[in-house]
Structure 1
Amino acid sequence: MGAPPGSQVAPLPTNLPFRLISRTIGCGAYAFVRKAIPINASKPIIAIKFINKDHAFNNGRVRQSQLRTEIQLHQHLGRHKNIIQFLSAGDDALYVWIAMELADGGDLFDKIEPDVGVPSEDIAHFYFTQLMSAIGYMHSKGVAHRDLKPENLLVSGDGNLKIADFGLATLFLHRGALRPAVTICGSPPYIAPEIVQAKRAKGDHAAVGYAPNIADIWSCGIVLFVLLVGNTPWDEPTSRSDEYKEFVQTGGRSKDELWDRIPQSALSLLRGMLKLDPHSRFTLDEIRTHPWFTRKNPHLNSAGNAANPLELATQMMESLKIDFNANITPSQRKANPDAMDIDMESHDDDRRFAATQPETPMEEMLFDWERLAKNEFNAARISASQPTTNGSKAHLSHNILDRLGEDPSLSQFTPHPSVPLSLTQAAKKFGDIVPSHSLARFVSHLPFNLLTTTIVEALHKLGIPAQAVEADEQAYVRVRTLDGRSQRLHGTVMIDKFNDELWDVRFVKASGDPLEWRRFFKKMCVLCKDAIVIPNS
Structure 2
Amino acid sequence: MGWLRGDCVGRGSFATVNLAVCSQFTTPTVVKSSDVFSSSSLKNEKQVLDRLGLCPEIIRCFGDDYTTENGEDFYNLFLEYASGGTLFDQLKNHGGRLPESDVRRYIRSIIRGLAYIHDKGFVHCDIKLQNILVLGNGDVKIADFGLAKRTEEKQSMCECRGTPLSMSPESVNDNEYEPPADVWALGCAVVEMVTGKPAWNVKEGSNIFSLMLRIGLGDELPEVPNELSEAGKDFLSKCFVKDPRKRWTAEMLLKHPFVADNTLSSKTSSPRCHFDFPDWVSAGTASVPCSPESVEWSEWKFDSVRWSNCTSPVDRLRQLVTDKKPNWSESDSWCLVSRHQRTV
| 1:283 maps onto 2:231 in alignment | no
Cα drift, residue 291 of structure 1: 2.3
Query: Does the aligned pair in 1 maintain the 2:123–2:150 contact within 8 Å?
Result: yes
CA–CA separation in structure 2 for the residues paired with 1:155 and 1:341: 23
| 1:24 maps onto 2:3 in alignment | no
Name the residue aligned to 2:23: 39
CA–CA separation in structure 1 for the residues paired with 2:15 and 2:230: 42
Query: Does the aligned pair in 1 maintain the 2:60–2:80 contact within 8 Å?
Result: yes
Name the residue aligned to 1:187: 163
Secondary structure of the 1:112 match is helix
Cα drift, residue 296 of structure 1: 1.4
CA–CA separation in structure 1 for the residues paired with 2:216 and 2:142: 31
Among 68, 91, 97, the alignment partner of 1:117 is: 97
Query: Does the aligned pair in 1 maintain the 2:128–2:166 contact within 8 Å?
Result: yes
Cα drift, residue 98 of structure 1: 0.6
Secondary structure of the 2:30 match is strand
Query: Does the aligned pair in 1 maintain the 2:35–2:74 contact within 8 Å?
Result: yes
Name the residue aligned to 2:80: 101
CA–CA separation in structure 2 for the residues paired with 1:149 and 1:217: 11
CA–CA separation in structure 2 for the residues paired with 1:170 and 1:76: 11
Query: Does the aligned pair in 1 maintain the 2:12–2:333 contact within 8 Å?
Result: yes
Please tell me the residue identity of whatever aligns with 2:33: F
Structure 1 residues 330 and 296, CA, compared in 2 at 3 Å: closer, same or farther? closer
Please tell me the residue identity of whatever aligns with 1:46: T
Cα drift, residue 28 of structure 1: 2.4
Structure 1 residues 246 and 219, CA, compared in 2 at 3 Å: closer, same or farther? closer
Q: What's the CA shift string for 1:474-512, capped at 9, x where partnerless? A: xxxxxx964xxxxx331xxxxxxxxxxxxxxxxxx5648
Name the residue aligned to 1:137: 116
Query: Does the aligned pair in 1 maintain the 2:108–2:260 contact within 8 Å?
Result: no
| 1:76 maps onto 2:46 in alignment | no
Query: Does the aligned pair in 1 maintain the 2:299–2:329 contact within 8 Å?
Result: no
Cα drift, residue 222 of structure 1: 0.7
Structure 1 residues 247 and 210, CA, compared in 2 at 3 Å: closer, same or farther? closer
Please tell me the residue identity of whatever aligns with 1:267: K
CA–CA separation in structure 2 for the residues paired with 1:243 and 1:233: 15
CA–CA separation in structure 2 for the residues paired with 1:33 and 1:165: 12
Query: Does the aligned pair in 2 maintain the 1:126–1:297 contact within 8 Å?
Result: no
Cα drift, residue 109 of structure 1: 1.7
Cα drift, residue 40 of structure 1: 6.8
Structure 1 residues 126 and 51, CA, compared in 2 at 3 Å: closer, same or farther? same
Structure 1 residues 73 and 26, CA, compared in 2 at 3 Å: closer, same or farther? same
Query: Unaligned regions of 5+ residues in structure 1, if any?
Result: 1-15, 57-61, 173-177, 199-208, 299-327, 355-479, 483-487, 491-508, 513-537
Structure of greater Rg: 1
Secondary structure of the 1:217 match is helix
Name the residue aligned to 2:309: 345
Secondary structure of the 2:65 match is strand
Structure 1 residues 297 and 85, CA, compared in 2 at 3 Å: closer, same or farther? farther
* Aligned 1:392-431 pairs, distance under 5 A: none
Name the residue aligned to 2:269: none
Structure 1 residues 147 and 123, CA, compared in 2 at 3 Å: closer, same or farther? same
Query: Does the aligned pair in 1 maintain the 2:66–2:74 contact within 8 Å?
Result: yes
Secondary structure of the 1:51 match is strand
Secondary structure of the 1:24 match is strand
Name the residue aligned to 1:91: 66
| 1:151 maps onto 2:127 in alignment | no
Name the residue aligned to 1:304: none
Cα drift, residue 297 of structure 1: 5.3
Please tell me the residue identity of whatever aligns with 1:218: W
* Aligned 1:352-367 pairs, distance under 5 A: 353=320
Query: Does the aligned pair in 2 maintain the 1:134–1:163 contact within 8 Å?
Result: yes
Query: Does the aligned pair in 2 maintain the 1:237–1:244 contact within 8 Å?
Result: no
Query: Does the aligned pair in 2 maintain the 1:115–1:229 contact within 8 Å?
Result: no
Q: What's the CA shift string for 1:311-350, capped at 9, x where partnerless? A: xxxxxxxxxxxxxxxxx8766559xx9xx99951214155
How many residues in Structure 1 have an aligned counterpart in Structure 2? 286
Structure 1 residues 297 and 168, CA, compared in 2 at 3 Å: closer, same or farther? farther
Q: What's the CA shift string for 1:426-478, capped at 9, x where partnerless? A: xxxxxxxxxxxxxxxxxxxxxxxxxxxxxxxxxxxxxxxxxxxxxxxxxxxxx
CA–CA separation in structure 2 for the residues paired with 1:242 and 1:171: 24
Among 180, 199, 204, the alignment partner of 1:233 is: 199
Structure 1 residues 342 and 353, CA, compared in 2 at 3 Å: closer, same or farther? farther
Name the residue aligned to 2:33: 50
Cα drift, residue 74 of structure 1: 1.4
CA–CA separation in structure 1 for the residues paired with 2:233 and 2:199: 13
Please tell me the residue identity of whatever aligns with 1:184: C
Q: What's the CA shift string for 1:26-81, capped at 9, x where partnerless? A: 1223111111232378x432111111224x2xxxxx6x4x5433221111121112
Query: Does the aligned pair in 2 maintain the 1:33–1:48 contact within 8 Å?
Result: yes
Cα drift, residue 157 of structure 1: 0.6
CA–CA separation in structure 1 for the residues paired with 2:198 and 2:35: 32
Secondary structure of the 1:276 match is coil
Cα RMSD between the aligned structures?
A: 3.6
Query: Does the aligned pair in 2 maintain the 1:181–1:211 contact within 8 Å?
Result: no
Secondary structure of the 1:109 match is helix
Query: Unaligned regions of 5+ residues in structure 2, if any?
Result: 265-293, 335-344
Structure 1 residues 259 and 286, CA, compared in 2 at 3 Å: closer, same or farther? same
Query: Does the aligned pair in 1 maintain the 2:162–2:305 contact within 8 Å?
Result: no
Secondary structure of the 2:64 match is strand
Q: Percent of aligned pairs with the same residue?
A: 22
* Aligned 1:351-390 pairs, distance under 5 A: 351=318, 353=320
